[in-house]
Every structure is written in C-alpha cells, then in structure tokens.
Amino acid sequence: MQTASQDESLLPAVPEPVLRVRDLTKRYDRNLALDTVTLDFRPSEIHVLFGENGAGKSTLISILAGANSPSGGSIEIGGKAGRFESVAESRAYGVRAVFQEFSLVPYQTVAENIVLGEEPVNGVGLLSKSTAREEARRLVAELGFDLDVDQRVASLTRGKQQMVEICKALRHPPKLLILDEPTASLSEHDARALLELLRRLKARGVSIVYVTHRMHEIPAIGDKVSVLRDGQLIATVGADTEEDELIRLMTGRQMSKIYPEPRRDIGAVKLALGNVTLAPERGVTQVREATLSVRAGEIVGIAGLVGCGKSELAQACFGLRRLVSGTIRVGDGEGRVRHPAEAIRNGLWYSPPDRRRDGLALGRSARENIALSSYSFGPLKGWWRKPRRETALLSSLAGEVELDAARLDQPVGNLSGGNQQKVLLAKSLGQDIDIFVFDEPTVGVDIGACLSIYRSLSELSARGAAILLVSSNLPELMGLTHRMLVMSEGRFVAEFQRGEYDEHRILEQFF
C-alpha cells in the first residue's frame, strides 16, 4: 500500500506559473475597477478571461502589459513580487499584448509596422527595407495569414489590421501572450486559423491570456476560464463549463437560451436585390450579379470570408456604393437607392461595422446622437426643438434597447461597445424604419449586451421588420436567421434554410 506522499509523487507535476497576480487592485477616484484579484498564468495553458464590459478584464490585462499601474497588490515573477512600470519592462520579460485598439501607423506598409520599434538597419544605420520585407514575409507565412507585406495598413480591412497586430506581437517568441477579442474582426475562416495558431503556441510552452465574448470559442480553445464581475474574480472553472453556468457567473442571474426562436409567419418582400453588380474599386469588382430578397418578419444572414463582398453589398443597400447594373427595391419603391437619405425615406436603416468611425458622434451625448436622427427623419422632424416630446421619446427608445437611462447624458465615446451599439439601434427606432441592414452588430460587444441585441432583433422581426444580417460570427447567424446566403469572391454561391444549417457544410461554401 502506497503512502499519501507516494500517491502525490505519481501525479503529473503542475508547472510553475509564468506570472502570478496577487490581490491586484485598481481604483479610479471612487470607482473600484479591480478588487483584490488573484490569478496564476501557467505555461502551455490558454486562460480565458470572461465577463461583461466594465467587469475589469481590460484593466487587468492593461496592468499585465505594463500600460497601467495597480493601486494595490503585486505581480509575481519567479517568486519575486513587483509590478511592471512600463510596457517596455513587461516586453523585456516576454509579455506581448494585442489590444482591441490597434497601435498601427496607417500610412506605413505591413512590413514596416511589423518591425516598428526594432527595425533592421543597413550598414549606415538606416532602415533596411529589403530585410524588413523578408522578415515580415517569413513571419506572415509561418502564421498562415493572407497579407501583402508591401500594402499600406490604411488600405486594409480591420480584420487584416488585426492580423498585422498579431504578427507584431509574435515577432519574438513570448512567454505570456495577451489577446483581447482577437477574432472580433476576423472571418470564421481566419478565426479558425488563429485558434489553430494558438494551439501551436501553447504546445511550445507559451502562456496565453485570451479575452473573448464568443462563447463557442471557450471550449474550443480554452483550458480554464476566470469570470470577472464588477472588478471581482467570481470563479475560475474549466473551459468545458456549460454556457448557462458561465452566463450565470458573469451576470449573477440565471439566463434563458442565447438565441431567441425566430418567428414563423413571414410577410411580403420588403427588400429585393436583382442581379446587382457594384462599380469596381481599385480595379476589383467586389459584388457581381447578386440577387436576394428579405421579407417582412424575416431575418436573412450573409456569411463569407473577410473581403468576399458582403459588407460592400450591405453598403449598397444604403446608397453608399455605386451600382453598374441591377436593381435594389426598398419597400414599395422601384430602382436604385442613390444615397442614404433616400434609403431612410424609404424605410431602410443601415448599421455600419465600425460604429465609432461611421455611426456615432463620439463627442456628443447618447441623448444627442439618438435625437439627431429623430429631428432629421423621425417624429421630432422640424426646425424647432421639442424638449418634452424629445425627453419622452428618448426614454422610450432607451427602454426598448435596454440602455440604462443614466447613460443618456454621457459622451457616447465613453460608453462600452455594447452600449454604443444600443445607441445606434435606438437611432434607427426613432424613425419610420421597417427594413434593417446590420453589418457586424456584435463586434466588440460583451455577451450580456449581445443577448440584449439579439432580443432587439427578435422583437423587430416579431413586429414585421425585414432584417438583413451580415456577420463573421457563424454561430450567431445560425442562431438568429431564417435563411442564410454564403458569398464568395463577390457572388452568392449557396443558400441554406434554417432546418438545413450545418456548420461544416456552410464553411465548405466559403471557398
């Protein structure tokens, strides 16, 4: 019979943490962003951080990266307690971070951005562009990304800019890699490629801190999940924990299923595209001979790789892209939508993927953002302000999209991604709109806000609205839509009815 000590010796040794945080605390005036959080990050482990916006995830990873200083507690490395005084100090230890806000130079090339700060130089001390290009090409190929290293970053999609940031972080092998919503801007194909890359890094002993709101990624990539709420560590559990339990830990309450059941009664066609071909951009025709229809009460999805043309088609519905042939019928109108004002007058609203750049006035309050569209096209239309009607309308709209009324007077640029998306949705509800085109509505949005947005889409559908949903999140499309079309290289190549949804079959059509 073996003793307890002998039994313990047979267990696999648990590797020492790459980094520990002990009682980490961060205060902003009276607000406690982190409240005595203690965690270990071990080699060959993918540690998921999960929680709503404002839970403390961003504060925690900014401290780990040396971009923020804690108010209390310590970071332990090799048994020694301390803290990182700067990003340079954390990088010297081997910490690399990829945040949601990119740190790229727009008018430099991909290669120049990848080597930025540690540029290879020639014999006279100047940047060796040939060496930079060769190093960048080698790294891009190793990571499996589709990037032209000579292309300027400003001309890239957000998804490809995300790839450049990841290349920068992995130029030198890290001990601890921090990724904040890395797949939010990636297509399903590129997201899968990134997850496979992370598995390879894990096998090499890298410790990975992974922040995500995409619940299907947690069991696919994670080893453990730490749930934060209101700055506190609520629990650390296995990555195979049921979704309902993770949501309960995150919100503090029991939630119903993630995706509402789509309504069954579908009405007349509200949006119809017939053989639409868009004008070329930089010599490339993004959309060719695209035909689709969306009926009242129906949610139709468009899936495909980044750059397949789905976003350009959504923009065309709103008059933001020029047609060379084909027709777009909006509501009862015939022919082309020539500009956004015409689309709105015909009852169509477009929600852009980059809400901060294209959808909101960041320096203005949420109240002003919502009211502006109502004065232009909605029930407040006219030359004079109507304070009483405005207050009543905005309170009603905030309630419809589950936006806390206390947020209405805050600058919209200071709100979380989820609340910004709610403001954008409230803007549309303040007008006579019955056709909605959403392009990536849940990018950068926490799961709690996602559930709210899903409920809003379901309620719009139940009222008879026609909804076209463009998304790189395939589970989201499968959960919300009645039908789904797959676009590849500017053409629709497949259509699936709800009862036919199969993730593998749909992904096959991407190529």
User: Is 207 in the same domain as 297?
Assistant: no
- pLDDT at res. 72: 92
Band the pLDDT of 224: cuts 50, 70, 90. Answer: very high
**Residue 453 included in any domain:** yes
What's the helix, strand, coil split of the chain in %, to 5? 35, 25, 40
- pLDDT at res. 387: 65
Q: Beta-carbon neighbour count of residue 269 at 10 Å?
A: 14
The domain of 176 spans 19-251
Q: How many CA atoms lie within 13 A of 241 on its CB side?
A: 22
Rounded to an integer, what distance in angstroms lies between the CA atom of residue 395 and that of residue 379? 14
Beta-ladder partners of 438: 351, 469
User: Is 352 in the same domain as 482?
Assistant: yes
- pLDDT at res. 228: 93
User: Is 352 in the same domain as 440?
Assistant: yes
User: Is 403 in the same domain as 477?
Assistant: yes
User: Is 200 in the same domain as 344?
Assistant: no
User: Is 175 in the same domain as 295?
Assistant: no
The single-letter DSSP state of residue 167 is: H
Summarize the confidence of residues 309-313 as an average pLDDT: 92
pLDDT of 320 higher than 80? yes
- pLDDT at res. 9: 53
* Mean pLDDT, the chain, integer: 86
Band the pLDDT of 3: cuts 50, 70, 90. Answer: very low
pLDDT of 171 higher than 50? yes
**Residue 5 included in any domain:** no
- pLDDT at res. 1: 38
The last residue of a domain, from among 251, 277, 310: 251
CATH code, 435: 3.40.50.300
Token pair recorded at residue 249? 């830990």
The last residue of a domain, from among 216, 251, 286: 251
Beta-ladder partners of 97: 178
Summarize the confidence of residues 339-343 as an average pLDDT: 85
User: Is 242 in the same domain as 311?
Assistant: no
**Residue 164 included in any domain:** yes
Token pair recorded at residue 212? 């995500």
Listed in sequence order, the DSSP H helices in 170-255 are 188-203, 217-221, 243-251
User: Is 101 in the same domain as 165?
Assistant: yes
pLDDT tens digit sequence for 462-485? 999 999 999 988 889 999 999 999
Q: Which residue has the higher pLDDT, 282 or 104?
A: 104
Summarize the confidence of residues 154-169 as an average pLDDT: 87
End-to-end CA distance of the chain: 60
Total structural domains within the chain: 2
pLDDT of 333 higher than 70? no
User: Is 136 in the same domain as 245?
Assistant: yes
DSSP 310-356: HHHHHHHHTT-S-EEEEEEEETT--S---SHHHHHHTTEEEE-S-HH
pLDDT tens digit sequence for 63-84? 999 998 999 999 988 777 778 8
The last residue of a domain, from among 251, 277, 294: 251
Residue 197 in contact with residue 144, Cβ under 8 Å? yes
- Of the listed ranges 32-36, 157-161, 186-190, the least confidently predicted one is 186-190
**Residue 39 included in any domain:** yes
**Residue 258 included in any domain:** no
Strands of the sheet containing 176-180, edge to edge, are 95-98, 176-180, 207-211, 45-50, 224-229, 232-238
Q: Where are the beta strands (DSSP E) in 51-101?
A: 72-77, 80-82, 95-98
- pLDDT at res. 481: 96
User: Is 184 in the same domain as 323?
Assistant: no
- pLDDT at res. 385: 60
**Residue 417 included in any domain:** yes
Residue 195 in contact with residue 221, Cβ under 8 Å? yes
**Residue 256 included in any domain:** no
Name every residue whose Cβ is closer than 8 Å to that of residue 311 and which is 6 or more positions away in sequence: 353, 439, 440, 470
For the four alpha carbons of 467, 468, 472 and 473, in that order, the dihedral sign comes to: positive
Summarize the confidence of residues 377-384 as an average pLDDT: 52
Give ∠ CA 46-216-55 in degrees, rounded to 5: 65
Summarize the confidence of residues 317-322 as an average pLDDT: 90
**Residue 300 included in any domain:** yes
Band the pLDDT of 232: cuts 50, 70, 90. Answer: very high
**Coil, helix or strand for 35?**
strand
The single-letter DSSP state of residue 84 is: -
Length of the chain: 511
User: Is 293 in the same domain as 247?
Assistant: no
Q: Which residue has the higher pLDDT, 448 or 272?
A: 272
Summarize the confidence of residues 225-232 as an average pLDDT: 92
pLDDT tens digit sequence for 425-456? 888 887 778 999 999 998 878 778 888 889 99
- pLDDT at res. 4: 46
pLDDT of 380 higher than 60? no
For the four alpha carbons of 317, 320, 325 and 329, in that order, the dihedral sign comes to: positive
Strands 323-330 and 269-278: antiparallel
Rounded to an integer, what distance in angstroms lies between the CA atom of residue 292 and that of residue 487? 11
User: Is 205 in the same domain as 125?
Assistant: yes
